[in-house]
Chains A and B, each alone.
Chain A
Amino acid sequence: MTDSQTKSSFGTALLNLHSGYTDSLPGREKHIDCLKSFLKKHIKDHHSVSMYISGPPGTGKTVSLHSLFASDLVTDNFTLVYVNCSMIKSANRVYAKIAEMLKIGSGTQRECISNIEQYLKTKHKSILMVLDEIDQLSSKNQSILYQIFEWPIIPQSNIVVIGIANSLDLTDRLLPMLKTKVSLQPELLNFPPYTKTELANIISHRLKNAGVAEIFPANAIQLLSAKIASIRGDIRYALDVTRRVIELADDKIDKKIELNDVIAVLNNVYSTSGALDNDDENSEKLPLQQEFVVCALLLLLSSGKKSQVITIGKVFNVFTTICKKRNVQVRDLSEFITMCSLLETRGVIKILGQNINRLSKVLLLWDKNEVDDVLHDKQLLVDVLNDKSLLIQ
C-alpha cells in the first residue's frame, strides 16, 4: 500500500466516524420499531398522543428520530414540526417557532398561541411535533410545558407531541398534574447508555462501511468500547476517541494502530492529574509556591476537626510560616489570593463566595492520592505534614 492510499483510507475512516454521519443505527432497531408502531397506531385511529423520550447524552435519541423523519411513514402522513429548544433565545419564543413551522403567521406570543390552537381545532393533516432538549422550556410554574402537553386533549387536534431530554423522570418531576388524566399521560421511552458490544458494533460497522475495516484492529475496538461503556455509554465520546486514535496513528511513521495508542488516548482524557503530567518528559508540575499552598491546606485539613471551616486567612498564616522556614520571600495577601485563584482554575481547590477575601472558605477538590501525584517534592510534603509547630501562630 502506498503512502497516498493509506492517507486516503485514514481520511475516509475519519469522515465515516464523524458523529453527524449516519446511515443506519445498529443497536437502536428496537427503539425505532417502538417509535414506528407508536406513530402507526396514531395514523390508524387518529388519536392524539404524547411521548417523552429520555436518555443520557450521546445515546442516539435525536438521530433515531431524524432517521424516522426521512422515512415514508412520516413524510406521507405528517406535517413535521421540529424545534430544538436549546436553539431558541428564550422559552417563550417556542410558540413563534412552532407557528413558523406550521406556516400560520407570526406575531406576539399570545397571538401565536391562539393561532396554533385555532389551527389545531380546524381540520388539518396530522402533526408530528418534536421538541428536543425540552428541559430548557421549564419555567416557574411549567406553564409552557403543560400547555404543549395538553394540546393532544383538544378534540380533532390530530397531533403527536414528542419531547426529548436527558433526565429519566422529567414528566414525573416537572409535570405531575399530567397524571390526573389518563389520556394526557405521555408514553415513556428510555434510551439506555450504549453497552460495550453495541459501541463496538457501531464503530466496526462504520469502519466497514468506509471500506477501511482493516486499519483498526478488532481487539483495539473491543478495548476502547469496553472502556467508554464502563464510564459513560456515550457514542460521541467513543467516536471521538476513535478519531483521535486514528489521527495520532496518521502522524506515526508505520501508520499502524496498536492497543497502546488507545490506552494512551484514554489515559490522556480520563484523569484529572493526568492533565498535568501526561508525559514524563519534564518533571515540572505545580509552581513551587503553589505547592506550598496545597501543603498548607493539607496540613490544616489533617490537623483540624472535621467540621472546622478553613478560610483563606488561615491558609495564608500557615503558608507564611512555611515560607519563612524555607527562607522564601513572603508574599502579600492579595498575591496569595491570585495564587489561590490560579489553583482554582486548575481544579485543585475551590474558593466559595463571590468576592474573594480573607474570610472566604477554601475547599480541597482533589483527594490525597491525586495531590500526591502532583506534588513532586515528596520530602516537602512529609516535612510540612509532620511539623505541627507550623500551626501555632
Chain B
Amino acid sequence: MVDSPSEYSTTPCTRQRLKNGRPPRTKRTRQSITSRSGSKVRRSILGDIPENKEIEISTPKTPRKTPKTHVKNLTASASKRLDSGAKIPCSPLEKARANLHLHAAPKHLPCREVEYKSIHSFLVRKINDELTGSMYICGVPGTGKTATVKRVIDSLNADLLMKHSFKFVEINGLRLANPHQAFSVIWKELTGETVSSSRAQTLLNDHFSNKKVKELSTILLVDEVDHICNRKQDVVYNILDWPSQTGSKVVVITIANTMDLPERVLRGCVTSRMGLTRLVFKPYTFQQLQEIIMNRLIGNSSFDPDAVQLVARKVASVSGDARRALDICRRAIDLVKSEDESQLITINHVNQVLNAILSGVRVTAIRCCCLFEQFFLRALRDVTSSTGIEHSTIDSVYTQLKTICLLEGEELPNEQQVLMMAYRLRDSGLTFLEKKRWDIFRKVSLNVSPEDISYALDKYND
C-alpha cells in the first residue's frame, strides 16, 4: 500500500491546491510527507478518486518532475529506440561493409554447390524413405560447413512437401557446459521439457528405440563434435547408436574440423557406428574466395577488383578461411571510412591492413619492453646463438648482460632486478622459465625467434 503509484496521491493534491491557492511545489512535498506518515489520510484520499473523476479531467495538470510515460512504455520505446538507432547504410562503403558482415551470408553459398547438393540429396532420401543414417562433415574452420547444412535445412523448411515431415534439432559441442548436458538440450528441443541429463538420456533412448509410435523423422545436427568426446566417449556412442536402432527415424549429422577424428580419437565401437558417409569441405581456393567476396559486392563498386584478388590470394595461400577474407575486407573499409566516404578501395588499402595484421604482436611486444628488458632479450639471444642450445641459465645471461651494459654505457642492474625482469618477460610470453626453481641458475629460453628480436630492436634504434 505504501508503494502505491504516486499519481493517485498527486492528483488530489492539485485539487487541494486550487482551493487554497498555495504554490504547488510546497504543497506537493507536504502532501507526500503526510501520505507516507499517516496511512489513514491516504486511504481516504484514495477512496475519493472514483467519485471525482470528472473534476480531475477539467483541472489543469501540474507539470511532473519525471514523465510517467517513460516508465510505463519502457519496452515499447526500447524497440523504437533500437529501430531509430540502427543506421540504414547509405553510402556505398557502408553498404559494402554491411554486406561483407558474416551475418549477411547469401541465400545460396557460392562455391559450395556440390556439397550442398550431396547433403540435400542425403537428407531428402532419408526423410522420404523414413531411413536412418549418419554423416560426418569435416573441414578446416571458415569453409562453410555449418552454413551449408543450415541452408539445406532452410530449403527443406521452405519446401511445402518436406516441411512437416521432419524435426530439426541442433546442438553445439562448444555451447555445452559438459558433454552429458547434450541429452537434456536435445530433449528440450524435441519436447520443450527441462529434465536432468541422465533422465533425458533414458527418455531419449526410449524415444528413439520405440517402434510403435508413429514419429516424424528427426535431423540431429551435432556441431563441434570433438568437444563432446569425453574420455569414456559415452555421449557420442549414445548419439550415434540411435540411427542403428531398428525403427528409429533419426539422421545424425556430425561436424568437426579434424579430418581423421573417427580414426584417431574415437573408439572402435563408436567409429563403427559412425559409418563411412563422410564429406570433406576443402579450403577455398583464391578463385573461390574472390567469387565469394564479389558475390557479396554485386551492385557495389566501392572495391577495386584487384584489391579483392589480393585479399583472396593472401588468404588462400595461408588458410583458405572465408571468415578471414571477409574480415580483411571490412578492416580495409574501416581504414577508408575515417578519411573519405566515396572512395574506391585499392590494393594500397588492403596492403596496409595486411601489414597491420602481419607486423606481429611479438615484435610490438619487444618494442614496448623497457630498456633493460630489451637488453635481457639481446643477452639471451646472444647466449643461445653462441651455445646453440635452446636452454640457458639466468646466470649466463647475466654475464652477457654485463657486457651489453658496458657497451651501452648503462648501469648494471643487480641480480634481483634481473630475476624480476625474467619473470616479467615470462608473463608477457616472450620467454620460458624452468618450473619449480627460484635461483639464479634457473633455465630460461626464448619464445620468439632470434630474428624477431634483431628486427624489433634494430628498427627501434633507427
Per the bound structure, the CA–CA distance linking A265 and B215 in Å amounts to: 32
Q: Are A20 and B245 in contact (CB under 8 A)?
A: yes
Nearest CB in chain A to that of B183: its residue: A89
**A239-290 with Cβ < 8 A to chain B:** 240-241, 243-244, 247, 250-251, 265, 268-269, 272, 275-276, 278, 282, 284, 287-290
**A150-191 with Cβ < 8 A to chain B:** 166
Contact stretch, chosen from A27-35, A109-117, A122-130, A333-341: A333-341
Per the bound structure, the CA–CA distance linking A361 and B67 in Å amounts to: 67
Partner of A332, one of B130, B140, B360: B360
Partner of A251, one of B121, B129, B180, B363: B121
Contact stretch, chosen from B24-32, B263-271, B340-348, B369-377: B263-271
Number of interface residues of A (CB under 8 A): 63
Q: With a CB–CB cut-off of 8 A, which chain B residues contact A359? A: 390, 432, 445, 447
Q: With a CB–CB cut-off of 8 A, which chain A residues contact B237? A: 86-87, 133
Q: Are B318 and A358 in contact (CB under 8 A)?
A: no
Partner of A11, one of B129, B133, B451: B129
Q: Are B282 and A284 in contact (CB under 8 A)?
A: yes
Q: With a CB–CB cut-off of 8 A, which chain B residues contact A57? A: 268-269, 271-273
Q: Are A240 and B232 in contact (CB under 8 A)?
A: no
Q: With a CB–CB cut-off of 8 A, which chain A residues contact B272? A: 57-58, 234, 236-237
Q: In the complex where A236-B275, A289-B317, A331-B318 touch, is A282 in contact with B449 (Cβ < 8 A)?
A: no
Q: Are A288 and B362 in contact (CB under 8 A)?
A: no
Q: With a CB–CB cut-off of 8 A, which chain B residues contact A339? A: 318-319
Q: With a CB–CB cut-off of 8 A, which chain A residues contact B198? A: 89, 93
A317 interface contact, C-beta 8 A: yes
Partner of B358, one of A18, A56, A335: A335
Q: With a CB–CB cut-off of 8 A, which chain A residues contact B197? A: 89
Q: With a CB–CB cut-off of 8 A, which chain B residues contact A58? A: 272
A64 interface contact, C-beta 8 A: no
Q: Are B132 and A20 in contact (CB under 8 A)?
A: yes
Partner of B283, one of A275, A287, A328: A287
Q: Are A275 and B259 in contact (CB under 8 A)?
A: yes
Partner of B238, one of A22, A87, A93, A345: A87
Per the bound structure, the CA–CA distance linking A317 and B198 in Å amounts to: 51
Per the bound structure, the CA–CA distance linking A288 and B197 in Å amounts to: 46
A83-98 interface mask toward B, CB cutoff 8 Å, 1 = contact, 0 = none? 0001111000100000
B91 interface contact, C-beta 8 A: no
Q: With a CB–CB cut-off of 8 A, which chain B residues contact A21? A: 246
Q: Are A240 and B276 in contact (CB under 8 A)?
A: yes
Q: Are B280 and A276 in contact (CB under 8 A)?
A: yes
Per the bound structure, the CA–CA distance linking A15 and B451 in Å amounts to: 63
Q: In the complex where A14-B131, A19-B244, A250-B125 touch, is A333 in contact with B318 (Cβ < 8 A)?
A: no
Partner of A86, one of B238, B277, B283, B429: B238
Per the bound structure, the CA–CA distance linking A236 and B245 in Å amounts to: 13
Per the bound structure, the CA–CA distance linking A236 and B246 in Å amounts to: 14
Q: Are B234 and A240 in contact (CB under 8 A)?
A: no
A218 interface contact, C-beta 8 A: no
Nearest CB in chain A to that of B226: its residue: A345
A204 interface contact, C-beta 8 A: no
Q: Are B282 and A276 in contact (CB under 8 A)?
A: yes
B422-462 interface mask toward A, CB cutoff 8 Å, 1 = contact, 0 = none? 00000001001000000000000111110110000000000
Q: With a CB–CB cut-off of 8 A, which chain B residues contact A284? A: 282, 285
Distance from A19 Cβ to chain B, minimum over Cβ atoms (Å): 5
Distance from A82 Cβ to chain B, minimum over Cβ atoms (Å): 12
Q: In the complex where A333-B448, A357-B432 touch, is A89 in contact with B269 (Cβ < 8 A)?
A: no
Q: Are A331 and B358 in contact (CB under 8 A)?
A: yes
Per the bound structure, the CA–CA distance linking A317 and B354 in Å amounts to: 22
Q: In the complex where A236-B275, A284-B285 touch, is A290 in contact with B318 (Cβ < 8 A)?
A: yes
Give the B-binding residues of A (Cβ under 8 A).
11, 14-15, 18-22, 56-58, 86-89, 93, 133, 136, 166, 234, 236-237, 240-241, 243-244, 247, 250-251, 265, 268-269, 272, 275-276, 278, 282, 284, 287-290, 311, 313, 316-317, 320, 328-329, 331-335, 338-339, 342, 345-347, 357-359
Q: Please, could you name 8 A-B residue pairs with CB atoms under 8 Å apart, sorted by A?
A: A86-B234, A86-B241, A237-B276, A240-B277, A269-B278, A272-B260, A335-B358, A346-B140
